[in-house]
Structure 1
Amino acid sequence: MARVDDRRDPDDPSLAENVYEGLVSLILSNELPADARVNINAIGKRLDVSPTPIREALTRLEDAGLVRKTHLKGYRTTPVLTSRELADLYDLRLLLEPVSARRAAERATPQERDALATELHRYANAPGSAELTDYARFSEHDALLHQLIARASGNLAVARALERTHFHLHAFRLAYDVETGEATLEEHVRIVETIIAGDADGAEAAMTEHLRAAQDRLSTRTPE
């Protein structure tokens, strides 16, 4: 993890943002694993920053559901999703994302359609992507593609909600070593093709099928 330059004004918003991104990176790389105590002093040394921007970042992470604060005990990263929580999360996604895909097919600008095609091509042609040899690359692609679709729908509230769900799904896949790359890529191809073609019904159906299949793949790995 690269250090964050703390020689600037502690009120500088870019410093706070860099510290926040550094903490997110530690969590999503599993260097700060699920349900672990967050040691502010140790993180300060790791990122080479004072405690103040770390505490500010932890407040944002608590809002995002990535950490929890306990009275007199400080912060802990959130535990991996339970089977019930995973089901609830996919219930939410199934309410939001199929409609989002439909709206993207109806409303996406030529530039937004190009961005979807570019991202799909970038990941599909990356060495080893289908075999999921690089999980970080897969996770980045998965989050970005769903974000691009939500933004193309014109609904930024959905885009913000999806960002939060991605954090928890990422942690779950890391914890249970769930391989989903090849199947996910095939499903993403169908979704993007229908959006680019302006096929609203097809896009909604493709997203619904993708989410149900993804839930099935993950549900087989949840603890009882």
Structure 2
Amino acid sequence: MTIGPDHAARLVPERRALADDVYDVILGLLMDHRIEPGAKVSIDGIARDFDVSPTPVREALARLESEGLVVKRPLRGYTAAPLLDAEGLRKLFEMRRILEPAAAQLAAGRMTPATVAALQELADDMRASASSAQDEGTRYQDYRDFADQDAQFHRIIAEHSGNDLLADAIVRLRSHMHLYRLYFKHGIEQDTSGEHEAVLDALRGRDAAAAAAAMLDHIEHSYARMAPHVED
């Protein structure tokens, strides 16, 4: 994989050797398929293209491996993880259907005004990010704020379930990162934002059954949006 010094310079305007900066750039390349699924990810090549030492590249790739976006194999190094196929998508959503409604149900009884306010702020920010993404385009950097806010909304609910094992399982799925790498299309933002508002309304009312039902409805609609794309 060769990106080229000119493109690399645009991606990293200032020569920063921090692993977080390198991580952000490689993540964008993976999400946009500039590094194609299954392609080899060369530590030396990335270090050369970005004019950094191999150390922050290794650190960034280790982080991406933990998130399931790259795969490391003995004697072969790193490759970009394959995209979810129909079976992988089905299994991911099976897990989400089991875990996330339960987390929302448990979190409903543990909502504080501060947590509700934080979730409302995220919901508001997502609407603003949706408008911005609509104007900008479909590159990852154009909708990254929305994707990050989406994941954070779900993470906060999971963490307020009162069950650390349940919350950890939800976070470790990294479902939003894998789904947005698979597919992003304008219109998803508005649908997702509306479904989040339904979950938030139930949590605000501390209605456990309604929170679980709203979360399940959101997950079912999300699968319905994704599945046809994978089948195609």
Asked if the contact 1:108–1:153 (Cα under 8 Å) also holds between the matched residues in 2, the reply is no
Asked if the contact 1:178–1:218 (Cα under 8 Å) also holds between the matched residues in 2, the reply is no
Q: Which has the higher helix share?
A: 2
Kindly tell me: are residues 71 and 161 of structure 1, through their superposed partners in 2, closer, same or farther at Cα, counting changes over 3 Å? Answer: closer
| Equivalent of 1:23 in 23, 26, 32 | 26
Aligned residues: 213
Asked if the contact 1:124–1:130 (Cα under 8 Å) also holds between the matched residues in 2, the reply is no
More displaced 10-residue stretch of structure 1: 147-156 or 83-92: 147-156
Partner of 1:157: 168
| 1:195-221 per-position Cα deviation (integer Å, ceiling 9, x unaligned) | 122111111000001101111111111
Distance 2:200 2:57 in 1: 39
Partner of 1:11: none
TM-score by length of 1: 0.82
| 1:66-114 per-position Cα deviation (integer Å, ceiling 9, x unaligned) | 1112344321111110000000000111111101111221112222111
Kindly tell me: are residues 128 and 19 of structure 1, through their superposed partners in 2, closer, same or farther at Cα, counting changes over 3 Å? Answer: closer
Distance 1:209 1:203 in 2: 10
Deviation at 1:52, TM superposition (A): 2.4
Asked if the contact 1:34–1:79 (Cα under 8 Å) also holds between the matched residues in 2, the reply is yes
Partner of 1:148: 156
TM-score by length of 2: 0.79
Are residue 106 (structure 1) and residue 116 (structure 2) matched?
A: no
Equivalent residue letter for 2:223: Q
| 1:27-61 per-position Cα deviation (integer Å, ceiling 9, x unaligned) | 23443333222122231134432112322332332
More displaced 10-residue stretch of structure 1: 182-191 or 118-127: 118-127
Distance 1:32 1:5 in 2: 21
Distance 2:37 2:43 in 1: 16
Kindly tell me: are residues 126 and 136 of structure 1, through their superposed partners in 2, closer, same or farther at Cα, counting changes over 3 Å? Answer: closer
| Structure 2 unmatched runs, 5+ | 1-10
Equivalent positions of 1:1-224 (< 5 A) are 1-2=11-12, 3=14, 5-6=16-17, 15-126=18-129, 128=131, 134-154=142-162, 155=164, 156-162=167-173, 164-174=174-184, 177=185, 179-223=187-231
3-state SS of paired residue (2:72): strand
Distance 2:168 2:111 in 1: 16
| Root mean square deviation, CA, Å | 2.6
